[in-house]
């Protein structure tokens, strides 16, 4: 199928893009890498009157430090992260996760901001960035605001974006070298979207853990009180409470026991990696 006809603008500055977005009163769509929007247009799942292409905006491809955080421009591609074109403040997590997204052709064009803006529950950045405690920076013609990734994702393909707003950057806290991270996902074939995904962050210095279970039909499950380990972060694999994980999945609406079993097994793999 082919996309319905639409007007196309390629603004040369962020302020011009925000102006176009404001003037369109909800009839425009942002396009970054086009890796998710392209298929949606072709299937006519979305039929915007105007596409605003932000891929060429240098302002959205910058990487800056702000205190202890790294501010990663929304239009940095998965390949930019995979190839290490930004400072490694995550002990290699960003490179590794980026390299596991789809195929190189998708990674060359798909962007970190587009991935969050699209908010597919199975997207690697949705789960990973929530686990890393990252934030999202949003801008509109009216101003700018920051949200935690976990506040930004409202559900499958649903975000906190207001009309006229776009994602300009990701705010990533720099991780101390003592931090441990585990990540696992189950895909039917290499390069395909995952049907189960989990990320585990352990911060021994702060005696703190954060676990995210992704690739479910709603917002990712975030557990940051160590309850899945009985309240402590020692002996992670032995203490892992599979029944509690199963219960959380059930509460989140994963009704099929086989699907829950896969999610719990994937989480166990991520925990084993963080514990190693
Ligand atoms: C074959 C295939 C396999 C894939 N497999 C995976 C996978 O395994 N894991 C994974 O994580 N992803 C996967 N993807 C998705 C891919 O990672 C995309 O890069 C990503 O979902 C969207 O990024 P994009 O820059 O292409 O956004 P686009 O397609 O341009 O836009 C997607 C949506 O986000 C909005 N948007 C884009 N940028 C912004 C912004 N800055 N602010 C606000 N809204 C914005 C658009 O309006 C649109 O609604 C796959 C895609 C394909 C085609």
With beta carbons less than 8 A apart as the criterion, state whether 129 and 214 touch: no
CATH of domain 59-173: 3.30.465.10
Q: How is the chain split into domains, by residue range?
A: 7-52, 59-173, 180-275
Kindly state the tokens that stand for 68. Answer: 């202890």
The shares of helix, strand and coil residues in the chain, as percent rounded to the nearest 5, are: 35, 25, 40
Task: Pick the atom of ligand 1 nearest to 167's CA.
Answer: 42
CATH architecture of 7-52: 2-Layer Sandwich (3.30)
CA 173 – CA 88 distance, rounded (Å): 11
The closest of 193, 233, 238, 240 to 217, measured between CA atoms, is 193
Which of 110, 145, 192 is the pocket-test mutation for ligand 1 (most atoms within 8 Å of CB)?
Answer: 110
Residue located via tokens 């009163």: 25
Directed axis angle between helix 257-275 and helix 242-251, to 10°? Answer: 130
The closest of 267, 232, 236, 235 to 249, measured between CA atoms, is 267
Rg (CA), the chain: 19
pTM of the model: 0.96
**106-141 confidence digits (pLDDT tens):** 999 999 999 999 999 999 999 999 999 999 999 999
pLDDT band of 148, cuts 50, 70, 90: very high
Residue 83 pairs with which residues in a beta bridge?
Answer: none
CATH of domain 180-275: 3.30.390.50
Separation of CA 66 and ligand 1 centre (Å): 26
Task: Pick the atom of ligand 1 nearest to 39's CA.
Answer: 53
Kindly state the tokens that stand for 60. Answer: 């959205």
Task: Pick the atom of ligand 1 nearest to 31's CA.
Answer: 30
Domain 7-52 and domain 59-173 have a common topology = no
Q: Is the CB of 77 under 6 A from ligand 1?
A: no
**216-271 confidence digits (pLDDT tens):** 999 999 999 999 999 989 889 999 999 999 999 999 999 999 999 999 999 999 99
């Amino acid at each position: 199928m082919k996309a319905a006809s639409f007007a196309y603008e390629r603004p040369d500055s962020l302020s011009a893009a925000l102006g176009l977005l404001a003037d369109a009163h909800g009839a425009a769509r942002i396009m970054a890498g086009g890796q998710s929007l392209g298929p949606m247009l072709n299937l006519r799942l979305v039929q915007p009157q105007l596409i605003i292409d932000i891929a060429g905006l240098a302002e959205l491809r910058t990487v800056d430090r702000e205190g202890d955080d790294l501010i990663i421009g929304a239009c940095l591609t998965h390949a930019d992260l995979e190839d290490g074109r930004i400072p490694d403040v995550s002990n290699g997590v960003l490179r590794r996760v980026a390299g596991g997204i789809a195929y190189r052709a998708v990674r060359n064009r798909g962007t970190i901001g587009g991935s969050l803006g699209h908010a597919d529950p199975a997207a690697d950045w949705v789960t990973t960035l929530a686990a890393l405690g990252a934030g999202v920076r949003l801008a509109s013609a009216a101003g700018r605001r920051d949200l935690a990734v976990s506040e930004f994702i409202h559900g499958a393909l649903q975000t906190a974006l207001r009309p006229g707003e776009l994602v300009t950057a990701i705010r990533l806290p720099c991780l101390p070298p003592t931090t441990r991270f585990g990540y696992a996902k189950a895909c039917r074939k290499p390069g395909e979207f995952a049907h189960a995904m989990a990320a585990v962050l352990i911060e021994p210095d702060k005696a703190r853990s954060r676990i995210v279970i992704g690739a479910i039909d709603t917002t990712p499950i975030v557990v940051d009180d160590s309850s899945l380990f009985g309240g402590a972060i020692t002996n992670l694999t032995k203490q892992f409470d599979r029944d509690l994980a199963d219960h959380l999945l059930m509460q989140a609406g994963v009704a099929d026991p086989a699907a829950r079993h896969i999610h719990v097994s994937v989480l166990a793999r991520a925990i084993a990696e963080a514990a190693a």
